[in-house]
Amino acid sequence: MQHYRKEFKMRHHPAFIRAIKGEKVSPKPIWFMRQAGRYLPEYREKRAEAGSFLDLCFNPEMAAEVTLQPIRRFDLDAAILFADILLLPMFMGQELSFEAGEGPRLRPPLQDGPVELSHQKLHDGLSPIMETIRLCREALPEDKALIGFAGAPWTVATYMIAGQGVKDPSSLRSYAYENPETFQALIHELENATISYFKRQISAGVNAVQLFESWASGLPVEFLRAFCLEPAKRIAKALKAEFPEVPVIAFPKGAGVQLREYAEAGTFDAVSLGTETDPIWAVETLSSHVALQGGLDPLLVVRGGTPMFKAAEQLLTTFADKAYVFNLGHGFVPQTPPENVAELVKFIRTF
């Protein structure tokens, strides 16, 4: 830890890190959720070469290459580690597969009956990811940050319970109501696994971490507090105790007005905004507590042109004198034209 902190202090902090820690950096630093992925022809080529998405995730040289592809193509401030939030349950006892056109499958689903979950395979199983991080950090210029990530316990649990992505993951709270002890133990297990996964990511070289709570929408407030907000706070606190310099970004997508509790928690450096969040509300309610990130509708980048520039301009104007990192309100979709991304980046840089 000491070594990491010293090294980090010596380096000139990247613009992204300064903004995420609350500095009003201008022009606004930029990265995009799902910036590495299927909309890029060079990604599709690498994935074909690897054989499958999972083969790509576990091949450190190839995964590092895919992490760096968007940095080479666009003028971005940060790279996000190429991996997936579902690698964790894969080493806790469920079998993970990605079937073409069908999305992820975790077998057997927890809703079909009890599954023996353990931490035992996590350490070795996730070692290739640490190697990917080392390779990326080595290759990245010092002014570019490397972002690590994990799924938040509830979001990961939804896939584990259903065994796949479902249309309305909030409905899986029925499982929690019917199996309260099993569910609480599951969240607790995921919380601990995520803490140790993040600690390893940081030790391997990531400069910030983002916790993806993709399914914070549709939940009763008490449920959201107990199973999304509190676990996220405990994860952030555990990281801060060991790595106080490393920023933690929370992305509780669809949390609505409860974003305020994330911002006021005092444990996150930044909160990422979903597509549905009103930027004016966010700037008035959240900005005095945390740095903000995101908000642009990823489908506007599919559209491109004036509607995309107008929305980007609105965000840049709203957050002009705040600590803000430009990003999307959710990930790029596969049909995003890379040329639109290039134009968007140019627009933000020269705004």
Which residues of the shown chain bind ligand CP3 in the complex (CB under 6 A)?
Answer: 33-38, 47, 53, 80, 82-86, 98, 103-104, 149, 151, 165, 212, 214, 331
Q: Which residue has the tokens 């928690």?
A: 265
Question: Which is closer to ligand CP3, CB of 33 or CB of 286?
Answer: 33
* Closest residue to ligand CP3 in the complex (CB): 214
> Please, are residues 254 and 276 in contact by the beta-carbon 8 Å criterion?
yes
Element containing residue 87 per DSSP (H, E):
helix 87-90
Q: Is 38 a catalytic residue?
A: yes
Minimum CB distance to ligand CP3 smaller for 22 or for 256: 256
Q: Pick the catalytic residue: 4, 47, 73, 260?
A: 47
Identify the active-site residue in 39, 159, 197, 324.
Answer: 159
For ligand CP3, which is the closer residue by CB, 110 or 283? 110
Quote the least distance from Cβ 267 to ligand CP3, whole Å.
Answer: 20
CB of 179 to ligand CP3, least distance (A): 22
Look at phi and psi of residue 254 and say left if phi exceeds 0, alpha if psi is from -120 to 50, else beta.
left
Least Å distance, CB 155 to ligand CP3, is 6
Provide the b/e sequence for 202-239 (b: ≥16 CB within 10 Å): bebbbbbbbbbbbbbbebeeeebebbbbebbbbbbebb
Q: Nearest Cα to 277, choosing from 246, 315, 248?
A: 315
Q: Which of 39, 43, 77, 84 is catalytic?
A: 84
- Is 84 annotated in the active site? yes
**Cα–Cα distance for residue pair 148/215, rounded to 1 Å:** 19
Min dist CB 206 to ligand CP3, Å, is 12
Q: Which is nearer to ligand CP3, 85 or 311 (CB)?
A: 85
Does residue 34 have an active-site annotation? yes
Residues noted as catalytic: 34, 38, 47, 84, 159
